[in-house]
Amino acid sequence: MKEKVLGVLGGVGPMATVYFADLVVRMTEAETDQDHISMVILNHPTIPDRTAYILDHSKPNPVPVMVEDARRLEADGCDYIVIPCNTAHYFYDEIQRNVRVPILNILEETVRACQETVPNLKTIGVLATDGTIQSHAYQNIIERHGLTCIVPEPGDQASLMTIIYEQVKAGRPVDLFEFHRIIGEMKKRGCDAVILGCTELSIIHRDANLRRPDVVDSMECLARSSILACGKQLRRG
């Protein structure tokens, strides 16, 4: 069987791209190098900021650059493409229209994972950037699955953006107390599951060793789907 190659349209942000590749390696059942997925990783951090453009269309548009990068991955022979950035999926349809290679959708994969792992799931909370929240990307998918979506109150959303942009992206220490407090507030409001819908939050999830079945890491969901799509096995245990 022909080996499947995964293309990673990365750099959005660069730390999240490295974390995604590390996750794929760690989550693959492998005894030798040859058991792992072949990946072409395009780490392109100068792609214009996704949230800035979603909130203000006078800002630089990231789509032309991302389409060019997707085409480059296609030309390199990739069988699937992933974008390890939740916010960038606001542009998913436009990017997918410009390439023949399937792009795995992190939003769809994460909501599906919630349904598979959280018993009696009715309400999902989403922690994400302002761009992701205001685009209603997660809300639309969650509601399409017959579930209710809750997003943070304005004050908590502002605090979350500080964590994402001024702490994780800036390489500064993260206020873990505040991060856990925001998750707690979402649970108090009735969320059966809370999605970490920003790849910078996935990095906190790893660093804080947060292992709660009701907190679902979108990056882990994308890594899992990538491994299976490329015909490899998930690591047991």
Q: Which residues of 201-226 are buried (b: 16+ CB within 10 A; e: fewer)?
A: bbbbbeeeebeeebbbbbbbbbbbbb
Q: Which of 85, 114, 149, 191 is catalytic?
A: 85
The verdict on whether 198 is a catalytic residue reads yes
User: Which is the catalytic residue, given 114, 198, 221, 230?
Assistant: 198
How far, in Å, are 24, 120, 177, 221 from residue 102 at the CA level? 18, 31, 39, 17
Gap between the Cα atoms of 90 and 123, Å rounded:
22
Cβ atoms 205, 196 nearer than 8 A: yes
Distance, CA of 111 to CA of 89 (rounded, Å): 14
**221 among known catalytic residues:** no
The residues annotated with a catalytic role in the active site are 85, 198
